[in-house]
Amino acid sequence: MIKNIFDGELQVRLNTDYKETGKWPTLKAAVQQNKRVFVFVRDHSVQPHKGIVEEIKLRRGERRTRMPGAALISSSYQAKNIGKDCSYVLDNVNKSCSRNDADFVKLSLFTAYFKSGVDCLWEMARYCNKLVNDSIQICNSLFPPSSETVDLQFAPNFLLLDYPNYQTDEDFNIVEICNKENHRRATLIDGYKVSL
C-alpha cells in the first residue's frame, strides 16, 4: 500500500538511498531528488523492499549486529509510573542518547500508565510534555559538534509525545522547539561545510 501510493499516485517518492548505498542521504539530496519519505517498519519481512527500512529496536544493555538495509534505533521508552513529575524519562533519555551503536535515537516522552493505570493520556501529557527541551539538551550535550569527525551526528532524531499540541506551562510548544533545534543544526552543518 505505501509503495503504491508513493511510487505512483503522489509526486513525492520513498527514499531508497540507504538500501541501495548503505549511506543516509542528506536532507538536501532527498529534497532535490523528491525522495523525501522515509519509512521504518519493525518487521524483517520488509527487507527486500527498497523504499522501506527495517527498524531494529535496541533495548537497554542489548547489542545487536548491524544488518544491511536495516536501522538500529535506540528508544527511551519505558512503561513505568510517571510519579509526580515524569522525571524518570530524563534518565532514560540520557541512556538512549549515550549509545554509540545506534543509527537513530527515538525519544518517547510518555509512559504506558499514570498513577492508577486508568488515567487520561492528556493528564500524563501535562507532566511529560514539559520535558521536551530538557531532553533535547541532554542529547545535544552527548553529541557535541566536532571538527575532527567526518560526519556531524545529531540526536534525538525522533520525538514521540502524547498530545503534542499540549505545551503545558512551557513558553514554546514542540513544533517551535523542534524548529529552533533544526535551525541550530542547519547552522552547525553550514559552519562545518565552510571549515572543510
Instruction: Domain ranges for the chain, please list them.
Output: 1-61, 76-196
With 90 as the cut, is the pLDDT of residue 26 above it? no
Contact 51, 39 (CB under 8 A): yes
First to last CA, the chain: 43
What pairs with residue 56 in β-bridges?
72
Question: pLDDT at residue 16 above 90?
Answer: yes
Q: Which residue has the higher pLDDT, 139 or 120?
A: 139
3-state percent helix, strand, coil for the chain, nearest multiple of 5: 40, 15, 50
pLDDT (tens digit per residue) in 62-117? 888 888 899 999 999 888 877 788 888 899 999 999 988 899 999 988 776 655 55
- pLDDT tens by residue, 127-164: 788 889 999 999 999 887 665 555 677 888 988 887 77
The SS3 of residue 173 is coil
What residues form DSSP beta bridges with 63?
none
Q: Cα–Cα distance between 20 and 47 in angstroms, integer? A: 12
Spatial distance between the Cα atoms of 164 and 61, rounded to a whole number of angstroms: 29
Whole-structure pTM value: 0.80
What does the pLDDT look like over 39-54, one tens digit per residue?
999 999 998 888 899 9
**Amino acid symbol at 24:** W
d(CA 194, CA 183): 17
